[in-house]
Amino acid sequence: MISKTKDSKYPNFNNYFKKLFPFIFIPTLLVSLFSDSYITNNPFEELEDYGSFLFVILFSLLMATILSSVIISLIWTFTKKVD
């Protein structure tokens, strides 16, 4: 059973998530965007290139959000089980 102590720095998951999310999300997003060769080598010669560029950025944003949320959830779960 997960113990909830009042003297904990983050008594609930919402506060913990809000404090930790930017520190995991921003580096994850930057790594995913800069390592994608489609984004860095896109010639933008046709209108379709702009649409696919936007799609790749939005897809990377979505994946970075999901990955960051899973990592924070796992960290929260493992640190609470240790207590």
Residue-wise pLDDT tens digits, 39-76: 788 888 999 989 989 999 999 999 999 999 999 999 99
Q: What angle do CA 20, 21, 23 make, to 5 degrees?
A: 70
| Chain centre to alpha carbon of residue 48 | 28
| Nearest residue to 56 via CA among 69, 68, 38 | 38
Q: Which pLDDT belongs to residue 29?
A: 94
Q: What angle do CA 7, 9, 13 make, to 5 degrees?
A: 110
pTM score, two decimals?
0.79
| Percentage of the chain exceeding pLDDT 90 | 53
For residues 77 and 48, give the distance between their C-alpha atoms in angstroms, rounded to a whole number. 43
Residue 7: the pLDDT is 55
Strands (DSSP E) found in 23-74: none
